[in-house]
Amino acid sequence: MNPFVIYKEILEKYLSSITIFKLEEAWNEPRRKYHNMDHLRQILQDLEKKRRFVIPIHWEALVLAAFFHDAVYIPGQQNNEEKSLELFIRCYQGKDWHMAKKVGEMIECTKYRKRPIDPLLKLFWDADNSMFFKADIKGLIENEHKIRQEFNFVSKEEYKKKRIAFLKTCLGVMGPKADQGIRELMKFVENTY
């Protein structure tokens, strides 16, 4: 399933063909091991499950946010979300700036380890973080290996320290089942790196 084919109509409604081409290139960058087309597919599949609860204009905003939320992704950079948002603002060709604002809010909310209250933002945030909600420890470890590959320029010691610090910020955010998986993942990271 190629999301750029499936959601072509929505993308073409708001973006130029060159932007769509560049977005697809970005999601297929070789350095991306976790934040790649599989991640984009997973988010869109999760959103599709809730589509019947979303009005059409909000659906289009969710789709655009999915395509742009990691459009700029450089491991270790602290401003990927801001750069992705800037890219969206530069490339957006729609007339509905209220929708564009909502897309921006969705992109921005993925930066934080706090579940949003706004229902649309929460829906998007949950889709972006669904690996913690749905994955068993085996799935979490598979994703962990991919994320480690993206940070292969960092020493094992530094990676372990920063990754555990990040995972600690996820505790208490997504519920008891997710917390259990996060704790198991922290043990895995501690014992592996």
Domain residue ranges in the chain? 3-128, 136-192
Residue 185 exposed, middle or buried by CB count within 10 Å (0-12, 13-18, 19+): buried
The whole-model pTM stands at 0.94
Distance (Å, whole) CA 34 – CA 147? 6
Confidence check: pLDDT of 139 > 90: yes
Token pair 């992705």: residue:
84
Architecture of domain 3-128: Orthogonal Bundle (1.10)
For the chain, the residue count is 193
C-alpha distances in Å from residue 39, one per residue of 27, 79, 104, 116, 161: 9, 19, 19, 20, 24
Banded pLDDT at 91 (limits 50, 70, 90): very high
Q: Mean of the pLDDT values across residues 44-59?
A: 95
Q: pLDDT category, 98, cuts 50, 70, 90? A: very high
The structure tokens listed for 14 are 């708001």
Q: Please give the pLDDT value at position 134.
A: 81
| Predicted pLDDT of residue 44 | 98
CA angle 182, 186, 189 (to 5 degrees): 135
